[in-house]
A = this chain, B = another copy of it.
Amino acid sequence: MTRTVLESKSKTVVIGFDEPFCVIGERINPTGRKKLAAELEAGDFSTVERDALEQVACGAMVLDVNAGVVYNSNPNPNETEPPLMRRMLEMVQGLVDVPLCIDSSVPGALEEGLKIAQGRPLLNSVTGEEDRLEAILPLVKKYNVPVVAISNDDTGISEDPEVRFAVAKKIVERAADHGIPAHDIVVDPLVMPVGAMASAGQQVFALVRKLRAELGVNTTCGASNISFGLPHRHGINAAFLPMAIGAGMTSAIMNPVRPVEMEAIRAANFLMNHDDNGAQWIAFSRILDAVEAGTPFAEASKASQASGAGRGGRRRRRA
């Protein structure tokens, strides 16, 4: 059984076929968040702090940290991203004790992150592009970390799932050449918006099954992409995630502060027999009770976490 082991200073998270779905919190990312980008350039990390605490309270098991700000004062990310990545990682791992996912398109920022991150972080990401393979895989090997492999290459993102599978296979093979085992590759098969491509859902489900059966790899995705541009997109996400989990998807990079999606994942874990005695579901159902009574989800989640509910099945009940 494939197991991708991530570690923080003191906590281990396993992404695996026999594990609860791994929720990787996506919020600490200035892309498309102008206010956060401006704050980061100004040295204000208060939003990062809040996002770190809130996401972990809501159930994120890993936090993605992306420092992709284009500064007004300096438009060269090769200069600005590495020190910002360092500061953000230091801050986040000082606040919360979950493994981190170092997310950048700048190799220098990835390496700076690898130097500072405690434990065994996830590197995000390598693609099938030749220059990325040659820049990133040596870092993966040198620091002995797992890596997200995105299924696009020098020809771009193919709409043909067979091509995306072939790209993933190439990355896994190239990684093997570097001495990196398949269980340290977490493939992102790329999720297209179902509003633009009618076969998008079925493509992902088929790809996940095939990646798992033929390459033996764990998988991840930017889950919310599936519902891009659609009304009531949380409803689409909340069906997509259980379907992807049923097909064998083992993690997603997503917003854990959304109760609808988190409810779908908790229920899917239970239905996959990855929630002993339903203890996690029952603890989560108390959070839902609080949300129904008017408490915001993040606040209800924090209160539940503080009470220790759902850890090791304590305080569980049969309803």
- Looking at A69-77, A109-117, A270-278, the stretch in contact with chain B turns out to be A270-278
Interface size class of A (residues with CB under 8 A): 35 or more
Bound: A238/B276 CA distance, A:
20
Q: If A198-B273, A199-B273 touch, does A288 touch B319 (CB 8 Å cutoff)?
A: no
Asked if residues A246 and B205 are in contact (CB atoms below 8 Å), the reply is: yes
Bound: A285/B232 CA distance, A:
6
Asked if residues B268 and A243 are in contact (CB atoms below 8 Å), the reply is: yes
Asked if residues A271 and B230 are in contact (CB atoms below 8 Å), the reply is: no
Asked if residues B236 and A271 are in contact (CB atoms below 8 Å), the reply is: yes
Name A238's contact: one of B194, B232, B238 (CB within 8 Å).
B238
Asked if residues A238 and B226 are in contact (CB atoms below 8 Å), the reply is: no
Q: Mark A190-205, 1 if CB is under 8 A from B, else 0.
A: 0000110011111001
**Is A281 part of the contact surface with B, judged by Cβ < 8 Å?**
yes
**Is A247 part of the contact surface with B, judged by Cβ < 8 Å?**
yes
**Is A242 part of the contact surface with B, judged by Cβ < 8 Å?**
yes
Q: By DSSP majority rule, is chain A's interface helix, strand, loop, or mixed?
A: helix
Quick one: copies of this chain in the complex? 2
Bound: A116/B276 CA distance, A:
49
Bound: A200/B278 CA distance, A:
12
Asked if residues B240 and A201 are in contact (CB atoms below 8 Å), the reply is: no
* Interface members, chain A 166-216 (any B CB < 8 Å): 194-195, 198-202, 205
Q: Mark A256-300, 1 if CB is under 8 A from B, else 0.
A: 000000011011101111001110011011001100000000000
Asked if residues B226 and A240 are in contact (CB atoms below 8 Å), the reply is: no
Bound: A266/B282 CA distance, A:
27
Bound: A278/B268 CA distance, A:
24
**Is A94 part of the contact surface with B, judged by Cβ < 8 Å?**
no
Name A246's contact: one of B200, B236, B247 (CB within 8 Å).
B247
**Most chain B beta-carbon neighbours within 10 Å: one of A247, A266, A270, A319:** A270
Q: If A194-B278, A198-B273, A199-B273 touch, does A239 touch B242 (CB 8 Å cutoff)?
A: yes
Asked if residues A201 and B272 are in contact (CB atoms below 8 Å), the reply is: yes
Name A243's contact: one of B200, B271, B288 (CB within 8 Å).
B271
Q: Mark A214-252, 1 if CB is under 8 A from B, else 0.
A: 000000000000100111100110111011011100000
Shortest Cβ distance from residue A195 to the other chain B in the assembled complex, whole angstroms: 6
In the complex, residue of chain B having the shortest beta-carbon distance to the beta carbon of A202: B273
Interface pairs A-B: 10 shortest CB-CB: A201-B271, A239-B267, A231-B285, A243-B246, A239-B242, A231-B319, A232-B285, A242-B243, A235-B263, A246-B246
Bound: A263/B229 CA distance, A:
17
CB neighbours of A247 from chain B (8 A):
246
CB neighbours of A272 from chain B (8 A):
201-202
- 6 sample A-B contacts, Cβ–Cβ < 8 Å, listed by A number: A195-B318, A201-B270, A230-B285, A231-B288, A232-B284, A246-B246
Asked if residues A282 and B231 are in contact (CB atoms below 8 Å), the reply is: yes
In the complex, residue of chain B having the shortest beta-carbon distance to the beta carbon of A240: B271
Asked if residues A239 and B264 are in contact (CB atoms below 8 Å), the reply is: yes
